[in-house]
Amino acid sequence: MNNRLDLETLIRWQNGRRRATSAARPADDSALQEVSGFGSNPGGLRMLAHVPEGLPPGAPLVVALHGCTQNAAGYDRGCGWSTMADRLGFALLFPEQQRANNSHLCFNWFEPGDIARDSGEALSIRQGIEHLVRAHGLDPRRVFITGLSAGGAMTAVMLAAYPEVFAGGAIIAGLPQGSALGVPEALRAMARPQTLSAASRGGSVRSVSGHRGPWPRVSVWHGDADTTVHPDNAEESVKQWLYLHGLADAPAVEQMSGGHVRRRWLGPDGTTRVECHRIAGLAHGVPLSPGDGEGQCGEAGAYLLDAGVSSTHGALEFWGLAEERAMSAAPGPRPAPGPARPAPAMAAMASMPGAMPGAMDPGATITRALKAAGLL
């Protein structure tokens, strides 16, 4: 990756930013519907949603944030989120960046006015969540958020700014909260993050909202061949959330399937509070297993990469939503969310020995044909 090009692009983002008007655009030809009147929208974002027909009251909500150069409809199709929402029974909210805010359609994860609690884009996303929960009777205790790249960095921002809102998150090829204020710091963090103490990373989150817990559960995904957002950002994100959950550095479980390494840190009750997926040979993008079979969904494309493992399924399994439809349809009170049946790719890993010694062997790297070009 050409760092000069990265800097020039970031400068164009900075210089070309201006707030969008409130005029609504027609919804894309997709499963998503435009959401209007959701609040003051200080960040000038567009909001789209998918609420499956017949969704019962008390269903969960998943918020998905696209990456740069993407839009909500394309990100939905690529990741298969609407397909999984229809299958499992949850609502979806897709905040969408507008070119008037950022010429490359990136969420402004490095702009002070957009990442503070009750300010800018962060507040717009919070308003969209509150509107959808109220309008459709969703469960405010089961709101989850995920995103890719700039959307992954914005996911970390939202988890820090509004930790009381989210039960869990999934950061894909993103950066930890507090990585950058302004363009130069953003460039440096993308190229290689600072190695900070856990207390420093965690303290950055604590300082945003004054929240003292409980904290959202967080899943981190990153490819080891990512030259756009350095993979060390995954380790800094993990460090941040381990500190907040009061967990030790060493994972309780480390599993490997081919070049996919999954580490898990467990809470006192035995549930996974933080996990990290590192995928050998994977460039910058969402790891997917496209198709219509079990454990598959979505379509491969730019920054939507066929990795043989579905991060969409993995996030849903981690959040305990994998069997949501069955629980919703059952008569009587709905049981509390518990460990869900893993998707096939996750199940394959779970069947392997729990402890894997040492770090990943570079010789195990899997070469994959990936579509990834330009700066995301």
On whether the CB atoms of residues 96 and 68 are closer than 8 A, the answer is: no
Q: Are 81 and 61 within 8 A, CB to CB?
A: no
Mean pLDDT within 81-91: 97
Query: Quick check: is 179 catalytic?
Result: no
Query: Could you give the percent of the chain with pLDDT greater than 90?
Result: 76
By mean pLDDT, which of 2-6, 152-156, 209-213 is the weakest? 2-6
- Pull the structure tokens for residue 149: 């790249």
Q: What is the pLDDT of residues 69-81, one digit of tens each?
A: 999 999 999 999 9
pLDDT at 347: 43
Name the phi and psi angles at 93, rounded to 5: -125, 130
Average pLDDT, the chain: 84
Domain extent listing, the chain: 3-364
For residue 55, pLDDT over 80 is answered with: yes
Q: What pLDDT digit, counting tens, does each position of 221-249 carry? A: 999 999 999 999 999 999 999 999 999 99
CB atoms closer than 10 angstroms to residue 89: 21
- Sequential DSSP letters for 290-302: -SSSTT--S--BT
Superfamily for 3-364?
Alpha/Beta hydrolase fold, catalytic domain (3.40.50.1820)
pLDDT at 29: 53
Residue from 124, 149, 311, 328 carrying the catalytic annotation: 149
How many angstroms separate the CA atoms of 103 and 10, rounded?
10
Q: Reply yes or no on whether the pLDDT at 323 is more than 90.
A: no
**Helices in the chain by DSSP H: which ranges?**
3-15, 72-79, 81-88, 112-115, 120-136, 150-161, 183-191, 198-209, 232-245, 311-319, 324-329, 344-350
Count CA atoms closer than 13 A to 263's CA, side-chain side: 21
Please say if the pLDDT value at position 209 is more than 60. Answer: yes
pTM of the model: 0.83
β-pair partners for 172: 148, 221
pLDDT band at 183 (very low <50, low <70, confident <90, very high): confident
Tell me the pLDDT tens digit for each residue of 101-125: 999 999 999 999 999 999 999 999 9
